[in-house]
Structure 1
Amino acid sequence: MIDGLKPYAEMKDSELCWLGDIPAHWRVKRAKAVLRRIDVRSSAGAEELLTVSSARGVVPRRTANVTMFQAESYAGHKLCWPGDLVINSLWAWGKGLGVSQHHGIVSTAYGVYRARDASGILPRYLHELVRSSPFHWELQVRSKGVWISRLQLTDESFLNAPLVVPPLDEQAAIVRFLDHADRRIRLAIAAKQKLIKLLEEQKQAIIHRAVTRGLDPDVCLKPSGVAWLGDVPAHWEITRLGRLIKLTTGFPFKSDGFTHVDDDIRLMRGINVSPARLRWDNVVRWPMSERPNFREYELIPGDIVLGMDRPIIQRGIRLAVVKEVDVPSLLLQRVARIRVRGDLNAEFAALLLSGRNFASYLAPIFTGISVPHLSPEQIKAFRLALPRAEEQQKIVEDVTVRTGAIRSAIDRAEREIELLREYRTRLIADVVTGKLDVREAAARLPDEVESAEPARDEFTADEESDPIEVDDEAEIEGVAG
């Protein structure tokens, strides 16, 4: 994709640490020289609600995994139009900004900016620049506050930020090239996601058969008395999960006490719980000195954790087993910790709760609910068919062997997706800051039809909302009353 791309022939020092050298004919301008703040309010609050996604920029709220409550009325809230730059002032440092393609209502806490007449900047180029990884440094240092979770970017601070501005024809070439590159990368990601989905279905079929029928194909069956469970081996016991576990929900740690000091203890949030794995790419911590005060909420290897907000996402159920690499860590609210007791094998429990039966149990609970939330009582009320302890262990061992190659293939595909996303991030950074000259490459590109291709990474939404505070894509929740 970058074959044949070369640096510009003549460069100059931008005198900005995050920008470095830029093409000699490019200019650096203050944002206030090309943008102006606008503040237009809705009279009736009837326009479409918009929000800012860290992954997708400004999007209709109905397409985003936003858990924040809706106001009774949006009259008096801010409006934006296509081409306006919208910034969540409290999450600018977390990529909570973008140029809107929609007309609608945004939070009164957002900043809305519009290009000045004859500003010499294209909205599409501006979108790529302000969301690029180099410009992220500028947003971080200009966002002020005592706690990182409360850093705020004021209008004045942003409008004093430097923007690198190429000539208009080069901005158009940059946008054209990046659109083409992004389209190809998304197609490659979509193909790998399709493969992952097929592999997950194959894995789930193996697990479902094993945890509902056992390993003996000729076993005698009996009605379970549970509609979504069906017939089960006659010697298995029908029981409720609550009899077999100790369930603890997390402590409501206050966000103004969060730290980002590496030596402090990690907090296990909903954003960290994905299907079959824990993700620590977005982590907050609590002072290590206070760890003894929260022993009740400390996680140990073998614990099962379950995201209680939006527990079902495209990739499956947001449930994972805590491993050695995940500790020490403390449990935050809206995450459940499950510790088995009695005759229940922890690995068997993890297979059972990550499978189709638990999803079938949850489906009617969440019908008609805009923001699905699972309560401890609902978790404990789940009915299951329980084999004897030795049979549970054999099932776990059999499933581990039979799904090993599938899990390896999924891990490999996920790593390839991660590398593609990293490549896209680096490519955008190099192009919008003038490290690569794409003018000739853009001129040779064929016309392409965007609608024929995937609009976005399928699993970005999961990853954003897995945090719910932001997993499956981290939505920056900003439309609030």
Structure 2
Amino acid sequence: MIADLKPYPDYKESGLPWLGQVPSSWRVVRNGSLFGQRNETGYGELPILEVSLKTGIRVRNFENSARKQVMSDKGKYKRAGKGDLAYNMMRMWQGAVGVSPVDGLVSPAYVVARPYPDVESKFFVALFRTGDYMSEIDSCSRGIVKDRNRLYWGDFKQILSPCPSPEEQAAIVRFLDWANGRLERAIRAKRKVIALLNEQKQAIIHRAVTRGLPSTGSGQATPSVPLKPSGIPWLGDIPQHWEVRPLKQLLVKMDYGTSENVRGEGRVRVLTMGHIRDGKIVLPETGGLNAVPPGLLLEKNDLLFNRTNSPALVGKVGLFAANTNEKVTFASYLVRLRVRSEHNPIWLNYLLNSTVFWSYARSQALVSLHQANLNSKRYGQMVLPVPTERAEQDKLVEHVRLQADEIERAIDRLEREIELLREYRTRLVADVVTGKLDVRTTAAKLPEEENDPEPLDDANALDERGEDEEHDGPDAVIEEAEA
């Protein structure tokens, strides 16, 4: 059905440079003729709502939240009625807008807009999240610092938007819900395969870092490997010639990162918790600081561990491969581990990220208000199974690489396919809500679909990165700061 979509038969100039032509039956109107501001307080009994850059508005789950919301008097929070549009003034230019699924409360820093009759909020949220519209919002936002520019109600209501008929708005929403469901199910299926492949890779790593090299080509440790009790409750037996040593003995030093504001435009790139993924470090596209002390610059094969995060994510470790000519430092809630030359840092990275060790590390973290902290002293005292010779560590690394290389390639292919699906979805939504494609006939033919029993992809479901739980990640939940 999607492939059969065609443009509208007739177009006219919209008068908006960012929009170009629109279907001849569409109007171009100010947002103030579509929505009225709702500024109601004193409803402290209603649930708290939050805005995600990916999923829009949802009821905040305090039991599973990565961060405990520090709240003032709920009576000051604004009421958002079911079907209302609400947006974060400081993040509207990034797409922090959604439709309230229930009567609830949002921060005083939010704007709540009540749709007038014959206005479908979901259509306009889809429009407001398109790249061109967000650029228009950015140009209308005001502030001293770009990262904190605000879109006030008075500016929002003056912005011009394309507006199809109420029937057409409903048809577009129906089509996008259907298309998004199909794409999300495809993404979910690929994520499940990725999860299985990661389990397979973890099994290979676990055998290597706890039992050593197999004596056969099967990839399985054999009974011929002499074992001894490790004395480590979470580990069990280890090869007889290995040692048990605290992590700190394998390191030259452990350092906390910079506490400076990392959101600047300087030339020194700053790594945060969201840049540690699957044992690797993903470099930010831009810098953050103008200068840092030389001792806080990363060197090749430094390890970073995440000392502060949600209980599910604390203790993640990544290896800095130094695949850049730029200077790179790290934020204060990360700890740099510099490994002694007699040990292989890649082997240690495998061990620290192994399921068995990471689970143990997380159990040692101190949890307060849904935030977990694992300080460097406690982390450094944790004992590890250590092959006594660097040569054996090198062989273990090569063994894991050979065994896991094909798995990594398969995961990379699936991740790229997911990214292509997301790019396709973004383009499809933009083309539909700006009138480049006509979905009226297709929407009328769509079958009624039952509600999906599983939550559709929120960009993080089945994804161990858990970006929605990391406040610095690209898909982060927007904090409901006081105005």
> Normalization by structure 1: what TM-score?
0.91
Query: RCO greater where, 1 or 2, for CA within 8 Å and sep 6 or more?
Result: 1
Structure 1 residue 178 and structure 2 residue 184: aligned? no
Corresponding position of 1:124: 122
- Other-structure match for 2:12: 12
Relative to structure 1, the CA distance from residue 373 to residue 395 in structure 2 (aligned partners, 3 Å threshold; closer, same or farther) is same
Write the deviation string for residues 310-341 of structure 1: whole angstroms up to 9, x where unpaired.
Answer: 37758x97432222335432212212222111
How is 1:291-370 mapped onto 2 (pairs within 5 angstroms)? 291=291, 293-310=292-309, 318-326=316-324, 327-341=326-340, 343-366=342-365, 369=368, 370=370
Identity across matched positions, percent: 35
Q: Could you tell me which residue of structure 2 aligns to residue 478 of structure 1?
A: 480
Between stretches 426-435 and 464-473, larger displacement belongs to 464-473
- Contact 2:42–2:76 (Cα < 8 Å) also in 1: yes
Match of 1:267 in 2: 270
Tell me which residue corresponds to 2:403: 402
- Could you report, residue by residue, the CA deviation over 1:86-113 in whole angstroms, capped at 9, with x for unpaired residues? 1111111222111111222211111111
**Counterpart-to-counterpart distance in 2, 1:237 and 1:150:** 52
Q: Is 1:39 paired with 2:39?
A: yes
Q: Aligned-pair distance for 1:342?
A: 5.0
Larger CA deviation: 212-221 vs 58-67? 58-67
Q: Distance in 2 between matches of 1:312 and 1:198?
A: 23
Measure, in 2, the Cα distance between the counterparts of 1:279 and 1:136.
Answer: 26
Q: Deviations over 1:415-466 (max 9, x none)?
A: 1011111111111000000000011111111111122454224625765636
**Distance in structure 2 (CA, Å) of the matches to 1:416 and 1:356:** 27
Give the aligned partner of residue 391 of structure 1. Answer: 392
1:234 Cα deviation after fit: 2.0
Structure-1 residue corresponding to 2:282: 279
Question: For the Cα contact (< 8 Å) 1:313–1:462, is it kept in 2?
Answer: no
CA distance in 1, matches of 2:280, 2:59: 29
Give the match's secondary structure for 1:28.
strand
Q: How does 1:132-147 map to 2 (within 5 A)?
A: 132-147=130-145
1:254 aligned partner:
261
Contact 2:26 2:165 in 1 (8 A): yes
The yes-or-no answer on 1:419 pairing with 2:420 is yes
TM-aligned CA deviation for residue 275 of structure 1? 2.0
Matched, 1:228 2:234: yes
Alpha-carbon distance in 2 for matches of 1:11, 1:23: 4
Q: Which amino acid aligns with 1:151?
A: N
What is the CA-CA distance between 1:472 and the residue it aligns to? Answer: 9.0
Q: Is the 8 A contact 1:219 1:233 kept in 2?
A: yes
Structure 1 contact 82–102 (Cα < 8 Å) conserved: yes
Amino acid at match of 2:401: T
Preserved contact between residue 367 and residue 373 of structure 2 (Cα < 8 Å) = no
Unaligned runs of 5+ in 1: none
Secondary structure of the equivalent of 2:86?
strand
Backbone CA RMSD of aligned residues: 2.4
Task: Identify the residue that residue 450 of structure 1 maps to in structure 2.
Answer: 451
Check 1:16–1:53 CA distance in 2 against 1; reply closer, same or farther (3 A cut): same
Q: Sort the Cα spacing of 1:308 and 1:79 in 2 relative to 1 into closer, same or farther, 3 A.
A: farther
Runs of 4+ in 1 over 6 A off after TM superposition: none
- Tell me, yes or no, if the aligned pair for 2:68 and 2:371 is still in contact at 8 Å: no
SS in structure 2 at match of 1:3: helix
8 Å CA contact 2:188–2:456 kept in 1: the answer is no
